[in-house]
Structure 1
């Protein structure tokens, strides 16, 4: 961040007690800590927890996990429930937080979940999603976009599920 988000003044680096060198706005007299977007992604499982839903979006052929940005005033869990309902028309009945990773390309902190939905019915998929398909774990690992955060999250989730260490309860 080079300029103050409030007044547009160029920021200088200044020592902030206990924090080190932090961008500072001399006009506002305020430190300006880093700002980034927050989003969640989820491996959506069927009720039997033996299939994973992957989607395609934006006219791309790659399969990815369902994801969405956290709105102002919303927590990650509410975002998870809202995004699954909005994008594929399914109701989340259980979820478990997995981990987070920073995605530099969009300056976004991604919060990853495993979720379980009430149905495998994909008749209510929104126009936001080009295609949604249920995969076995092995098929999903093969189909997911390679070298992506989605792949990193998915492979960790599959490992946890196959090891029986996921605590997600329906």
Structure 2
């Protein structure tokens, strides 16, 4: 079983250290596995970002670097990050998510957001440092709530108006400044569906590197109102029984996991009644 340990280090890679080679929003996957040795990647390096240390896979240092597929030694397959995450088990998926988020943070904070000076790597922690301002710039995380709402033996599923995918998922949205996550759940549900909820309770979380969300999953109970959809967000929504649901995301995603967990809760209570 693969063991992924995220971490930080200012050390440059050795020839045999492992590198996740990326090209934009995709992984450059070698024939075997997802990682390549640094000596194989360095001739194809692009730009001036990286290699950036992101952690250890089974005790070996792992870096992320932007590379050119055409000049990368050996054959590679360009796999979009979303597809890769759905293909992988927990540890490799966590590695990819960490690597992409750290790489984007590195790219987006090359210069200080206050004075515009070039930032440098902080010597003691994962941060970009502006020497004139004395300000550390840390990797950015955007907390986002996602909720499955129960009404009796049914749950609310919705189809987004912003994607061409035809599956149904859950109500979700970003936490606003000064807002609790429980308040964010209630607000997002009200804004997007017109419904009131109660009994908001935490279930699970998932980092989601598009580009830097931390998804916080909740259960909630229907408390009132009729469906009035925010059309620029939700194309369609309805209440579904666990045994009669439309296509939904896979359980490797937090939305699919929440839907499965709620279905089990409903079916378990039905069986015991």
- TM tier, shorter chain? 0.7 to 0.9
Change (3 A) 1:145 1:21: closer
Other-structure match for 2:155? 52
Report whether the alignment pairs 1:103 with 2:208: yes
TM-score by length of 1: 0.80
Change (3 A) 1:23 1:59: closer
Report whether the alignment pairs 1:15 with 2:123: yes
Q: How many equivalent pairs are there? A: 157
Structure 1: distance between partners of 2:116 and 2:192: 37
* 2:255 maps to which of 138, 146, 150: 150
> Greater CA radius of gyration, 1 or 2?
2
Partner SS for 2:115: coil
Between 1:4-13 and 1:72-81, the stretch displaced more is 4-13
Q: Which has the higher contact order (CA 8 A, sep 6+)?
A: 1
4+ residue segments displaced more than 3 Å: 146-149, 156-164
Q: Is the 8 A contact 2:205 2:254 kept in 1?
A: no
Change (3 A) 1:15 1:88: same
TM-score by length of 2: 0.52
Across the aligned residues of Structure 1 and Structure 2, the Cα RMSD in angstroms comes to 2.2
Structure 2: which 5+ residue stretches go unaligned?
A: 1-104
Report whether the alignment pairs 1:133 with 2:238: yes
